[in-house]
Amino acid sequence: MTPGAEASEPRAGEHVPVTPDWTCGSCGDDWPCATKRHHLLHEYEVDRASLSVYLGSCLAAATHDLRAAPVTALQDRFIGWVPRGPRTF
Ligand SMILES: [Zn+2]
């Protein structure tokens, strides 16, 4: 940490979920927001399996926090956006 050398580029630590509502702490959208999804895909580009594990743990916690929300909707929101299969588009 260097005071005064604040990076302007988005950091992985931003757009963190705010529980128990699971909204984005930076932009207020439902988490993971579009920006966070973009970050996650880059962060886990070579390790998609770990991304699934991470999102699965988030989904489990969110399912606990958001009991009123349909599970299928939460699955879609937390995991459904991840591109499946080989990393060839
Ligand atoms: Zn956000």
Name the nearest CA neighbour of 39 among 81, 73, 3: 81
Distance from the alpha carbon of residue 77 to the mean position of ligand 1, in angstroms:
14
CB-based contacts of 50, cutoff 8 Å, min separation 6: 44
Q: What is the pLDDT of residues 37-89, one digit of tens each?
A: 999 999 999 999 999 999 999 999 999 999 999 999 999 999 999 987 655 54
Asked which of 3-7, 16-20, 75-79 is least confident by mean pLDDT, the reply is 3-7
Distance from the alpha carbon of residue 61 to the mean position of ligand 1, in angstroms:
18
Name the nearest CA neighbour of 17 among 2, 35, 5: 35
Distance from the alpha carbon of residue 15 to the mean position of ligand 1, in angstroms:
4
What is the per-residue pLDDT for 83?
87
What's the predicted TM-score (pTM) here?
Answer: 0.78
Listed residues: CB within 5 A of ion ligand 1? 15, 24, 26-27, 33, 35
Q: What is the pLDDT of residues 24-40, one digit of tens each?
A: 999 999 999 999 999 99
| Helices 48-65, 34-43: inter-axial angle, 10-degree rounding | 140
What is the per-residue pLDDT for 5?
47
Distance from the alpha carbon of residue 89 to the mean position of ligand 1, in angstroms:
25
